[in-house]
Chain A
Amino acid sequence: NAGVMQNPRHLVRRRGQEARLRCSPMKGHSHVYWYRQLPEEGLKFMVYLQKENIIDESGMPKERFSAEFPKEGPSILRIQQVVRGDSAAYFCASSPRVSPEHYGYTFGSGTRLTVV
Chain B
Amino acid sequence: AQKITQTQPGMFVQEKEAVTLDCTYDTSDQSYGLFWYKQPSSGEMIFLIYQGSYDEQNATEGRYSLNFQKARKSANLVISASQLGDSAMYFCAMREAYTDKLIFGTGTRLQVFP
Contact = CB atoms under 8 A, between A and B. Distances in A.
Contacts of B37: 107
A91 interface: yes
Given A42-B107, A110-B45, A105 B50 contact: no
Nearest to B35: A104
B50 A107 contact: no
Contacts of A12: none
Task: Summarize B's interface: helix, strand, loop or mixed.
Answer: strand
Interface in A59-116: 59, 89, 91, 93, 95, 98-110, 112
A43 B43 contact: no
B45 A91 contact: yes
B19 interface: no
A98 B44 CA distance: 23
Nearest to B99: A56
A29 to B, nearest CB: 12
Contacts of B43: 89, 109-110, 112
Interface in B34-57: 35, 37, 42-47, 50, 52
Nearest to B46: A107
A43 B95 contact: no
B21 to A, nearest CB: 13
A41 B100 contact: no
Contacts of B33: 101
Nearest to B33: A101
Given A102-B50, A109-B43, A43 B100 contact: no
A22 interface: no
Contact of A31 (B91, B100, B103): B100
Given A45-B101, A45-B103, A58-B101, 5 more contacts: A45-B102, A55-B100, A101-B52, A102-B59, A109-B43
